Amino acid sequence: MSATAVLPYLAILRARFALMLQYRAAAFAGFATQCWWGVIKVMVLAAFYAGHPDQPITLAQAITYTWLGQGLLGLLPWQADAEVSEAVETGNVAYERLRPVDTHSLWMARAIAARAGTTALRVVPMFVTTAILLPLIGLQQWAWQMPATREAAALFALSITLTLLLSSAFVVLLNIGVTALKTRRAANVAVTFVNPLSGMIIPLALMPGWMQGFLFWQPFAGL
């Protein structure tokens, strides 16, 4: 694909990202909810480690994982693109397919912008609260820990980028499912698998040993 051919998709990505950044009130409400849920999960983890300290990851790592999960919750592919689902149910998807652009690339650009925009509004206040404010008030052991080295920070940035692309690809697959089955309910099954298999409920490293092979290779682990 030439540089000129990419321009329409970049324009769509920028416009969609700017649109998502306008939902500040919803993002603040989501941030407050995720802080509360994160505190509960941290308390549960602390109780678990008090009785079973010998685990593949330390309590500090599990706590950081929890805050990361809450801050980056918007990256998860919960559902298909709402506008695509509505277009399928109203029949307007025909106009979508007639646009002079590649449908897959269009949906991918929209998904990347939506995931990135939603996440940006929530991860920043989560980082400020759990990585900066908690240590300042003497709660360092419950804080979001920084990468130990520059190399670790670079690998973290790379992993987040790959997660964004993988999640957006899942959204495109959900869009295809909705289009093929003519109903947005076709994508509802995604939540059933995304939550447990991505490690959002329990870190995958804390799952039973006999499940680790499957958990490592299944695609949701990359989320």
Encoded tokens for 105: 């690339």
Question: Tell me: the pLDDT tens digits for 112-131?
Answer: 999 998 898 889 999 999 99
Instruction: Return left, alpha or beta for 182; rule: phi > 0 is left, psi -120 to 50 is alpha, else beta.
Output: left
Q: Which of 163, 178, 203 is nearest to 79 (CA)?
A: 178
pLDDT value for 21:
80
> Are 79 and 105 spatial neighbours (Cβ–Cβ below 8 Å)?
no
Q: Which phi and psi angles does 138 have, rounded to 5°?
A: 85, 20
Q: Is the pTM of this model over 0.95?
A: no
Q: Which of 183, 191, 206 is nearest to 78 (CA)?
A: 191
Question: Tell me: the pLDDT tens digits for 130-145?
Answer: 999 999 998 999 999 9
pLDDT in tens, the chain (223 residues): 566 778 888 888 888 888 888 877 777 888 888 899 999 999 999 999 988 888 888 999 999 999 999 999 888 887 888 888 888 878 777 777 777 888 888 899 999 999 998 898 889 999 999 999 999 998 999 999 998 899 999 999 999 999 999 999 999 998 888 887 777 676 667 777 888 888 888 888 888 888 888 888 888 888 7
Give the integer Cα–Cα distance in Å for 64 and 7: 38
Give the integer Cα–Cα distance in Å for 7 and 176: 24
